[in-house]
A and B are shown apart, each in its own frame.
Chain A
Amino acid sequence: MTATDLPTPAVGGLDLVPTTDEQQKAKDFTSDQEVRWCPGCGDYAVLASVRSFLPELGLRRENIVFVSGIGCSSRFPYYLDTYGMHSIHGRAPTIATGLAVTRPDLSVWVVTGDGDALSIGGNHLIHALRRNMNITILLFNNRIYGLTKGQYSPTSEVGKVTKSTPMGSVDAPFNPVSLALGAEATFVGRALDSDRKGLTEVLRQAAAHRGASLVEIFQDCPIFNDGSFDVLRKGDDVAERLIKLVDGEPILFGNEGEYGVVRSASGGLEVARVADVGEDAVVVHHADEQDPTQSFALSRLSDQDLTHTITGVFRKVDRPTYDDGARAQVAAAKEQAEARGDNLDALLRGKDTWAVLPEPENEQ
């Protein structure tokens, strides 16, 4: 048997989702449910950004679905007036998968936390990325288990003292961006909860991407991991830590762009003073580069202590999606079946049948 040729794929993430001409506002996406995160929780800022971003997509509201797992962040769908499902711990990508495969007319979003996506749901996350399901995954990384009141998570720093690690964690953390790239993700971005502009830009590109998009959102949990990303928000050296990727541009940062990312002797990337190495040595960012090596090296610049933390879009490449492929096979098979005149009766009969005649005729 030969594999079915796939038709020319839709290119944009939302190509098959019906749009509306109606003017939408953030308010239209706001459900009547009272938001119940702790005061000061970073989730509020993300919710506000998403609510004000969604109208920009111009989609019919009823064709948007948010699916979440369990955790503080996973309450997200309740607060949006779209279709939504608050599922079970770690499994949101699986539900989104079934939905995305069967309903190309939906814009499917997954909301998950660092525990939800990387502990209990780690398997589903990597497989959704590998398959390149056409879904957008918002990973709220507060580096702690919020909902269960403050145990360390798979992104917590080594040595972190929490309720479950009174002597400090001895557990090595994941780097979600590195993990996603290793899992063959075609779109990986990162943003800070409080950076509405940066977050919106990443969301915009993620939604437009056809395939699985992973957006890591650094999110503050003032209750159990207060100020965990403060070094990226305030203080004198923010500009020396935070690197904003711009596609097609040299990767420069610092108050005056005095730092740049350059190739290291070992083949990876490192930070240098532009004055020392010259502007030509600074690496230019290409998110659409098929080879993930440079994106991966960029993800490794951020250490656990958040020195040189990158935000923006690490990678954005085209690759056929599982859902488009699966639907194309079903469509092709249906066409062939129709041409052959297949039907249920013929299927049930199969090839080898025998008849038992009414009694009298059976005699003789």
Chain B
Amino acid sequence: MSTDTAVGPSGREVRQTHRVVIRFAGDSGDGMQLTGDRFTSEAAAFGNDLATLPNFPAEIRAPAGTLPGVSSFQLHFADYDILTPGDRPDVLVAMNPAALKANLADLPHGGVLIVNTDEFTKRNLAKVGYESNPLEDDSLDPYTVHQVAMATLTRGALEPTGMSKKDAERAKNMFALGLLSWMYHRGTEGTEQFLREKFAKKPELAEANILAFRAGWNYGETTESFAVTYEVAPARLAEGTYRQITGNLALAYGVVAAGQQAKLPVFLGTYPITPASDVLHELSKHKGMGVTTFQAEDEIAGIGAALGASFGGSLGVTSTSGPGVALKSETIGLAVALELPLLILDVQRGGPSTGLPTKTEQADLLQAMYGRNGEAPVPIIAPQSPADCFDAALDAVRMALTYRTPVFLLSDGSIANGSEPWRIPDVDALPDLSVTFATEANAPDGSGEFWPYLRDADTLARPWAIPGTAGLEHRIGGLEKADGPGTISYDPDNHDRMVRLRQAKIDGIEVPDLTVHDPDGDAEVLVLGWGSSYGPIGAACRRVRAAGLSVAQAHLRHLNPMPRNLGDVLRSYRRVVAPEMNLGQLSMLLRARFLVDAHSYTKVAGLPFQAEELAGVLTDAVKGDLPA
């Protein structure tokens, strides 16, 4: 990871390095997410490119010190644009034996391991099945190990505060943060200010955490055990103003922005579910921007209320994860029949059933595509990274409003909680999403009646006539409607026509052509992904190309309708590989639709793909050895 070396002010070696992956791991109660988040903010403020991967148990407080209770946060930061949170850490911080045991396998030999020795008691070791203390036997020999009594040192630093030992020890995560901040030449002021704000109501806690943080920093500076520190220069990203953002935050902002751009009030009807709840939490803060949030009694009520709001002329939105989509299916079908705009945010998680609530997966694609009774086509869009959630939300709303249809946005756990730098868009350059409500009778026979299902010739969208509009009183519902007048119709030909019209409307949605990245121009293998796998696939392609091989990459953002040129793109490569975190849902669609021999590479481990593993798959594919 290192390139240049110099000697720093404290006489210690300073290595310049292009990128670093740090993983903080500890017990769920150890504050690892906060620690990682904080370090991320510092890296962001410093101007590094970055990507993060939080990984935590579904239980709020799994039994302390156990393997299931381990929570970790991985951060990849670099002086160039990176695509993933990194496969393996360069530095592992292990706050207890369980964290060590759960994460050590990912640390490459030669990697840096910083261990909080205080937790390595007989009892804690036994809890996770260590027969001998790894700090004392030779099992850690392959690594550069730093043994630090973080709890003891934190306690010592906090002694002047008069805090109980137990309370003082709780600040040990800030000690770890201080130490790492020192190692990587990060400033201290940002974190100190952050702690003061976070504990504004309890200044004594703020001070305690700051003391621990400084103690960690000073520990690095004064003890001799750390011979090397590292510098990662700012990344040369495209010009602009940046901030760090998670996928769920970007999604919420996208919804707020869409409401503003459409000049419509936003109504979110939803029911809490991991990993989508943060969208509710965030949007609940933005009432001042015209957002109403409604925490319903269940998912069905959440989407029902959103659809009711849409009927009334609001931008109706519902947010959920896979199990919630299952409950919403019937109402989505109703929205298809009513032809009203509705945004459905599905932050996918491991399934089936409750599955792996805090882990990631892309297995709701076919549910979104087909999970309804009858022919009920719904557009689907999938963001490819945390920051991309913002643009995807705007695009989803564009489709919903223009074509008067429910639209699925498929995010997932890894981009929902993961973060990266986001170039803040120019608000004036955001798309205009304004809509026109119907105000006039439109019956072609000049009868002065209003026909709610008379379609726009271009988009096939029907008029949106909201209650309160005089003269346009009409009734809509889930029963089949006569093409045009919209009255109930059981006529067989009419039904056939309406089914095809609804399909044609979705098929006709304007989506951009698929672009292919093939820098060498001679690739025979195309790798096609969708959604959050963009990062690992892109990183894998870089590796393959760095090894002198050619591979073309394309990423599907629009899964329904698919880009018009997709068939041509697929047919212009000798081999197509589609990696997915499911059992091959996209490749099934590709095969069915385009009769191409798309090869599926699948993994459903609850974690994003690793670039290394995909690079292997792609290298094999280039050499003619395709995944089965």
Contacts and interface: CB of A to CB of B under 8 A. Distances in A.
A345 B311 contact: no
Contacts of B467: 62-65, 83, 99, 103, 106
Contacts of B66: none
A97 B265 contact: no
Most buried by A among B45, B291, B468: B468
Contacts of B313: 102-103
B265 A33 contact: no
Nearest to A78: B475
A354 B304 contact: no
A54 to B, nearest CB: 12
Nearest to B47: A354
A105 interface: yes
Given A62-B470, A77-B475, A85-B476, A98 B287 contact: no
Nearest to A327: B292
B475 A84 contact: yes
Given A62-B468, A123-B298, A358-B239, A98 B478 contact: no
Contacts of B294: 97-98, 101, 326
Given A102-B312, A349-B243, A352-B243, A94 B289 contact: no
Contacts of B45: 352, 354
Contacts of B324: none
Contacts of B298: 123
Interface residues of B, number: 73
Interface in B250-270: 253, 256-257, 260, 265, 267, 269
A353 B475 contact: no
A47 B219 CA distance: 81
Nearest to B428: A345
Interface string A324-364: 00110110111011100011110111101111111100100
Given A83-B475, A348-B257, A102 B468 contact: no
A124 B301 contact: yes
B232 to A, nearest CB: 14
Given A330-B290, A334-B288, A345-B427, A62 B473 contact: yes
Contact of B330 (A61, A62, A88, A353): A88
B334 interface: yes
Interface residues of A, number: 65
Interface in B277-332: 286-292, 294, 296-298, 300-314, 316, 330-331
Contacts of B46: 354
A87 interface: yes
B240 interface: yes
Given A103-B468, A353-B242, A94 B477 contact: no
Most buried by A among B310, B314, B467, B468: B467
B6 interface: no
B301 A127 contact: yes
A31 B244 CA distance: 56
Nearest to A123: B297
Interface in B227-258: 234, 236-244, 253, 256-257
Contacts of B190: 352
B33 interface: no
A67 interface: yes
Contact of A347 (B256, B311, B476): B256
Contacts of A80: 475
A1 to B, nearest CB: 11
A82 interface: yes
A238 B265 CA distance: 53
A88 B367 CA distance: 20
B469 interface: yes
Contacts of A356: 47, 234, 236-242
Contact of A357 (B239, B244, B253, B267): B239
A344 B242 contact: no
A86 B260 CA distance: 30
B334 A105 contact: no
B296 A94 contact: yes
Most buried by B among A64, A101, A127, A359: A101
Interface in B58-97: none
18 contacts: A85-B338, A91-B331, A94-B269, A94-B303, A95-B305, A98-B309, A100-B308, A101-B309, A103-B467, A103-B468, A342-B288, A344-B260, A344-B427, A348-B253, A348-B427, A349-B243, A355-B241, A362-B236
Given A102-B267, A354-B242, A356-B237, 11 more contacts: A88-B478, A94-B301, A98-B304, A98-B305, A102-B265, A102-B308, A103-B313, A106-B467, A352-B44, A352-B244, A354-B45
Identify the 3 closest CB pairs spanning chains A and B, nearest first: A94-B304, A337-B288, A98-B308
Interface of A: 31, 33, 60-65, 67, 70, 77-78, 80-88, 91, 93-103, 105-106, 123-124, 127, 326-327, 329-330, 332-334, 336-338, 342-345, 347-350, 352-359, 362
